[in-house]
Amino acid sequence: MNRQGSGAWAVLLAGGDGTRLQSVTAMIEGDTRPKQFCRILEGESLFAQTRRRIGSLFDTDRIIAVVTKKHEGFYSRELNNWPRTAVIAQPENRGTGVAIATAILTLNNLDSDAIVATFSCDHHYINDAALLRVIEAGIEAVQEKPDAIVLIGAEATHPETEYGWIEPVEATRKADGFAPSRVRHFWEKPTFATAQALLRRGCLWNTFVTIGCVSTLIDVLWRAAPDAMGTLSSGVLENDLDSSYALVPSIDFSR
């Protein structure tokens, strides 16, 4: 794949409130900003790191950021040079499910045949090069099988209870090391005892990096949350997210 641009789109999810780490962000920044806009490492925010990390895989005009209006004071400088069409400002934070649905519905109007990858902007990765290789492989897998949705899993090192876990069916190794597998079960923030069992079974942490065709993701979202999708579709079509967000409940994409 050409590292100068995969042809796919990237959606940067940066609308969360990040309340769990507010004590840390307050210590670093002197305020209670969400952690994605906090300069936790290397003097730049996790949002900026995410944008830089994926820059070699996605063309600049194929990156969309999803933020929440009440955080504008924290993200306005970071997005100062972004085109207005590249930023979706949610009226309220309604969870990752609603953020992804809004982005995918917006993207459907721009490029309905696109492949899209979604990224949480509050994560840090030690080995960026390895992550990019797996994202490339994930995009290629979707190109080969357009009705598939690919999730990137990470090798678990301890029984973490604050992460989502993926229990794969036995993977088939390829020469390049990429091991695609169907998912047997998802475990969202399990108990400690369950996390210990998942670790022993070789289950993976869910990085939340999700790759799929726009049409496939829309189909899954409609089946999972038809009422919310109907409301959001109207809001995106009529450019009135305020009204639609006032009606939709919070939805956790992982759950």
Predicted confidence (pLDDT) per residue in 83-134, tens digit: 888 999 999 999 999 999 999 999 999 999 999 999 998 888 888 898 999 9
Q: C-alpha angle with apex 104: 98 to 107, nearest 5 degrees?
A: 140
pLDDT of residue 33: 80
Count other C-beta atoms under 10 Å from residue 70's C-beta.
Answer: 15
Q: Classify residue 45 as exposed, middle or buried by CB count within 10 Å of its CB (0-12, 13-18, 19+).
A: buried
Spatial neighbors of 188 by CB under 8 A, at least 6 apart, are 164, 165, 252, 254, 255
Q: Which of helix, strand or coil describes residue 174?
A: coil
CA atoms within 13 A on the CB side of 184: 10
- The rounded mean pLDDT for the chain is 89
Spatial contact of 160 and 189, defined as CB atoms under 8 Å apart: no
Quote the CA–CA distance of 251 and 95 in Å, as a whole number: 5
The CATH H-level superfamily of 9-153+207-245 is Spore Coat Polysaccharide Biosynthesis Protein SpsA; Chain A (3.90.550.10)
Predicted confidence (pLDDT) per residue in 14-48, tens digit: 998 866 666 666 666 667 788 888 787 777 888 99
Q: C-alpha angle with apex 205: 199 to 210, nearest 5 degrees?
A: 150
Count other C-beta atoms under 10 Å from residue 200's C-beta.
Answer: 9
Spatial contact of 166 and 237, defined as CB atoms under 8 Å apart: no
Spatial contact of 12 and 121, defined as CB atoms under 8 Å apart: yes
